[in-house]
């Protein structure tokens, strides 16, 4: 059951506020948003040291519930030097908005190289998740939050953005009478392979919840504003409107591969999903993870304790011999008949002004991407 913060704590700044303040970065602000709307339930704040250690080593909270990635507040040694456990601290965004009060219960200095190895499977500083981990402050603060304002961001205030909280999505699902809903997470523009696995999922569930991440990502990822346009043009022309729900998901991408796949599934459970689509190299980056490590990690947990059913899909491609989309499970033909491109190949072609193969991308999507890369 998702636990939301009491609504009367939002926007309540009439009471005396703590005198001590900290300015938090965009990662922490995104986490405050997710914590505040209940996307990270059952978490009610940033992890203390005991919780952090259990999550890193065992992928579980102290109460035994599955939780695969740390949600921590990092600060500098300078910021931490005058803090004491038991204090209340006002957390401000870089926009100077007062977002939350942290009831500080834990101050600790983690072994970040060990965290990198356990959570990301590597301590290579070139891994974007590890790089971000090492660049942030070396001191962690833990404690429950009172959220004063749900963070708003210029990006998700744009007209083309549709933002729904977990409670709003669950209410929508209930009003439509959907019993089974498959969630889909992506940080990339949707292409034909994505469309194929989404529609395969639609054959076995009542509805599809497309929930792309629009929070802090790598600098070379396609901007959220461009990605959202590709989703919307596909939804308008190629999906049944009475069986698909679309909303953006403001959260920081962690690039934690297999662990993040489980994390994404649990978050979508909070949004009311009964199923979650796990594709090839889910939440992966570079060559740090095996193509189906994100499938294998789910074997560590029983479906009952997960509370959400993973739907595993192999890499989809267009087969010229089959004359349609397929995977290695359904196509008998040799690789030379298959059309699939890496993200690097797609970006290279678009920067050169070349057309993407229609077997890889719908023309409407390709046109949006070409326009972006032409500048």
Residues near 123 by beta carbon (within 8 Å), at least 6 away in sequence: 113, 116, 117, 130
Cross-strand partners of 60: 66
**Interval 335-368: pLDDT, tens:** 999 988 766 778 788 888 888 888 888 999 989 9
Catalytic residue (choose from 187, 192, 280, 362): 187
Q: In this structure, are strands 275-278 and 181-184 parallel, antiparallel, or unpaired?
A: parallel
Confidence bin at 150 (pLDDT 50/70/90): confident
Half-sphere exposure of 244 (CA within 13 A, CB side): 20
- Torsions phi, psi for 90 (to 5 deg): -85, 125
Distance in Å from the first CA to the final CA of the chain: 46
Q: What is the mean pLDDT of the chain?
A: 89
Bigger pLDDT: 344 or 6?
344
How long a stretch of residues is the chain?
Answer: 375
Which of 3.40.50.1390, 3.30.465.10, 3.40.50.620, 3.40.50.2300 is the CATH number of 160-374?
A: 3.40.50.620
- Quote the tokens at residue 156: 């998700």
Cα 217 to Cα 119, 186, 208: the distances in Å are 18, 11, 24
pLDDT exceeds 70 at position 157: no
Query: pLDDT for 41-64, tens place per residue?
Result: 999 999 999 999 999 999 999 999
Indicate where the chain has its CATH 3.10.400.10 domain(s): 7-147
Q: What sign does the dihedral 193-162-267-270 (CA atoms) show?
A: negative
Q: Mean pLDDT check: name the lowest of 5-9, 27-31, 151-155, 368-372.
A: 5-9
Average pLDDT of the segment spanning 313-335: 94
- Mean pLDDT within 98-118: 97
- Asked if 111 is an active-site residue, the reply is no
The model's pTM: 0.91
Q: Where in the chain is the domain with CATH 3.40.50.620?
A: 160-374
Residue in 112, 188, 243, 347 annotated catalytic: 188
pLDDT band of residue 272 (cuts 50, 70, 90) is very high
Q: Is residue 187 among the annotated active site residues?
A: yes
CATH code for the structural domain at 7-147:
3.10.400.10
C-alpha of 230 from chain center: 18
The answer for 257, left when phi > 0, alpha when psi is -120 to 50, beta otherwise, is left
Q: Report how far residue 21's alpha carbon sits from residue 51's, in angstroms, rounded to the nearest whole number.
A: 24
């Amino acid at each position: 059951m998702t636990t939301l913060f009491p609504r009367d704590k939002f926007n309540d700044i009439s009471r005396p506020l703590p005198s001590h303040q900290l300015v938090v970065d965009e990662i922490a602000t995104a986490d405050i948003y997710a914590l505040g709307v209940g996307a990270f339930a059952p978490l009610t704040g940033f992890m203390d040291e005991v919780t952090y250690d259990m999550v890193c080593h065992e992928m579980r909270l102290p109460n035994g519930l599955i939780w695969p990635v740390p949600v921590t507040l990092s600060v500098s040694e300078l910021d931490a030097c005058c803090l004491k456990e038991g204090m209340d601290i006002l957390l401000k965004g870089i926009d100077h908005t007062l977002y939350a009060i942290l009831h500080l219960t834990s101050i600790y200095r983690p072994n970040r190289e060990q965290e990198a190895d356990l959570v990301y499977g590597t301590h290579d500083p070139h891994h974007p998740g590890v790089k971000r981990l090492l660049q942030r402050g070396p001191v962690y603060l833990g404690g429950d939050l009172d959220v004063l304002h749900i963070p708003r961001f210029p990006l998700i205030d744009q007209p083309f953005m549709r933002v729904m909280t977990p409670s709003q999505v669950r209410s929508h699902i209930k009003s439509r009478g959907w019993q089974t809903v498959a969630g889909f997470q992506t940080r990339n523009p949707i292409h034909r392979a994505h469309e194929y696995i989404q529609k395969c999922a639609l054959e076995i569930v009542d509805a599809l919840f497309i929930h792309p991440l629009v929070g802090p990502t790598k600098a070379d990822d396609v901007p959220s504003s461009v990605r959202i346009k590709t989703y919307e043009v596909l939804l308008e022309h190629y999906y049944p409107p009475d069986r698909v729900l679309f909303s953006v998901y403001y959260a920081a991408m962690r690039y934690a591969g297999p662990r993040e796949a489980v994390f994404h599934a649990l978050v979508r459970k909070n949004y009311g999903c009964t199923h979650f689509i796990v594709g090839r190299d889910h939440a992966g980056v570079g060559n740090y993870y095996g193509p189906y490590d994100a499938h294998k990690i789910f074997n560590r947990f029983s479906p009952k304790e997960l509370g959400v059913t993973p739907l595993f899909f192999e890499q989809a491609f267009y087969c010229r011999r089959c004359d349609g989309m397929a995977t290695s499970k359904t196509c008998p033909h040799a690789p030379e008949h298959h059309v699939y491109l890496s993200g690097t190949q797609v970006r290279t072609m678009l920067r050169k002004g070349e057309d993407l193969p229609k077997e890889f991308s719908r023309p409407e999507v390709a046109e949006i991407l070409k326009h972006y890369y032409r500048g």
